[in-house]
Each structure stands twice: as structure tokens, then as C-alpha cells.
């Protein structure tokens, strides 16, 4: 928001890269919200989240790559695009695995605490 305001007030010259960056963020955010809403009733949360992250990564990287075409050659843009996608895919995978693991551990701890609470109630009733 600050960058857009600075561009409007002419404190900073407007460039295609700023437009590409903001467009990429907005398009990937909008598409991820739409896709998540459509998939959340059909699939598990963790799978829906992973699919949404991957699709948003592809859209974000593609829009940025298109923006880079005015500064770099096609081969350089494709190189940047593939590296960017590899980074975002690994980030999405690690984030999804961490969310799944924490959800599993949370359920496991709740079950154990419930078991211990019930055991403690039984012990207290016998005394």
C-alpha cells in the first residue's frame, strides 16, 4: 500500500515490476480464495490448503514472469520462473506437512489428556 501511495504522489517512479508484483499478489490471493471455497466442502482441509497453495504459487510466479519479460530475455524469465516455482512448491509442501503434523499432534494430546482426566476421576471416586 505504501509503495502504491508513493507512486501516486510521485515520490517514486512507477515501474512495470511494481504493477506486476501487485497484480501477482492480487490475482493469486483472489484465485486461492475462490479455489479454497470451492474445494473445502469436497476435500479435507489439509489437502484443500495444499492444492490452493500450489495453484496460487503457479499464478503468482506466472504473473511475475510476464512482468519480467520487459526487462529480461525469455530464457532468463523461464529460469527465474522455474526457480521461483521450486521454492514456492517446497514452501507449500513444508507448510502443509507442518499444519498436518500439528493438527495430528493436537488431536493426539487431546485424546491423551481426556484419558488421563477420566483415569484421575476414577481414582478420585475410589478414595
10-residue averages of pLDDT along the chain (127 residues): 58 69 88 92 90 92 89 91 92 91 91 85 80
CA dist 16 and 119 (Å) reads 65
Contact between 85 and 61 under an 8 Å Cβ cutoff? The reply is yes
Q: Where are the beta strands (DSSP E) in the chain?
A: none
Whose grid coordinates read 506466472? 62
90: number of Cβ within 10 Å: 10
Helix, strand, coil content of the chain in percent (nearest 5): 85, 0, 15
**What pLDDT, on the 0 to 100 scale, is given for residue 126?**
77
- Give the C-alpha separation, 36 to 55, whole Å: 10
* CA–CA gap between residue 17 and residue 7 (Å, rounded): 12
What local confidence, expressed as pLDDT, does residue 11 receive? Answer: 57
Q: pLDDT value at position 33?
A: 93
- Measured in degrees and rounded to the nearest 5, phi and psi for residue 40 equal -65, -25
Amino acid at each position: 500500500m505504501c509503495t502504491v501511495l508513493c507512486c501516486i504522489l510521485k515520490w517514486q517512479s512507477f515501474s512495470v515490476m511494481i504493477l506486476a508484483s501487485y497484480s501477482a499478489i492480487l490475482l493469486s490471493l483472489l484465485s486461492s480464495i475462490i479455489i479454497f471455497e470451492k474445494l473445502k466442502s469436497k476435500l479435507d482441509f489439509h489437502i484443500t490448503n495444499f492444492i490452493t497453495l500450489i495453484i496460487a504459487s503457479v499464478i503468482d510466479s506466472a504473473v511475475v514472469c510476464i512482468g519480467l519479460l520487459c526487462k529480461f530475455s525469455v530464457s532468463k524469465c523461464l529460469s527465474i520462473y522455474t526457480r521461483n516455482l521450486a521454492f514456492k512448491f517446497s514452501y507449500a509442501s513444508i507448510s502443509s506437512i507442518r499444519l498436518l503434523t500439528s493438527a495430528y499432534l493436537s488431536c493426539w494430546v487431546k485424546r491423551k489428556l481426556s484419558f488421563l482426566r477420566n483415569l484421575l476421576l476414577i481414582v478420585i471416586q475410589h478414595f
